[in-house]
Chain A
Amino acid sequence: EVQLVESGGGLVQPGGSLRLSCAASGFILNDHYMDWVRQAPGKGLEWVGRIRTKFNTYTTDYAASVKGRFTISRDDSKNSLFLQMDSLKIEDTAIYYCAREQEDYYYGMDVWGQGTTVTVSS
């Protein structure tokens, strides 16, 4: 079964750091661009960023709201994706989803994890 499972969420103080993980199973991670998308409580979806494949030199793109504070990385040998979040702000509180981009679907995000909750509060 094709699956993504996020972990690492929790409660952190403003200014703190947190590292989220996303474990992929049922498919070969290194064939796909991967994204992080978040959803604040009661709000809509917000794209966080993406990381391309090794073939595309693992280049990344980020939303302006997180650029310089968040870093996306991947370990294809472990079928894992990561989101390092530093200098966290209260407005970063959200459910964080990892998602797979599918080239056949013109890079639409066709597989999503169940999400992990990050709460930034003092």
Chain B
Amino acid sequence: QSVLTQPPSASGTPGQRVTISCSGSNSNIGNKYVYWYQQLPGTAPKLLIYRSNQRPSGVPDRFSGSKSGTSASLTISGLRSEDEADYYCAAWDDSLSGRVFGGGTKLTVL
């Protein structure tokens, strides 16, 4: 059972907007930055969002992040078939003195 809670699956059609949620607590999301990682099938994870809502260079602006209280979300606009992947939220947890990941959300592009 993961410290951060994500829905196990999400789906959308090409061009749609999809939002993936991530719920935590005051020891992690509530007082720390949130990161989002994308893992395409059979590959290593890739940093998608840092500091809760910032994109590393090279990440399309179709990807955006937000945080409110102890929850965060990742929104993908203009969904594309190549966005089909697993998405993970992550944060530092002060109580555990370590990073924690969400259980991951498998995004299917219909």
Contacts and interface: CB of A to CB of B under 8 A. Distances in A.
Interface of A: 35, 37, 44-47, 49-50, 61-64, 97, 99, 102, 105-106, 108-110, 112-115
B46 A106 contact: no
Interface stretch (B19-27, B73-81, B92-100): B92-100
Interface of B: 2, 33, 35, 37, 39, 44-47, 50-51, 54, 56, 86, 88, 90, 96-104
A63 B35 CA distance: 18
B47 A110 contact: yes
Contacts of A50: 99
Contacts of A105: 47, 50-51, 54, 56
18 contacts: A44-B2, A45-B39, A45-B45, A45-B88, A45-B90, A45-B101, A50-B99, A63-B96, A63-B98, A97-B44, A105-B47, A105-B56, A108-B47, A109-B35, A109-B45, A112-B44, A112-B45, A115-B44
A47 B45 contact: no
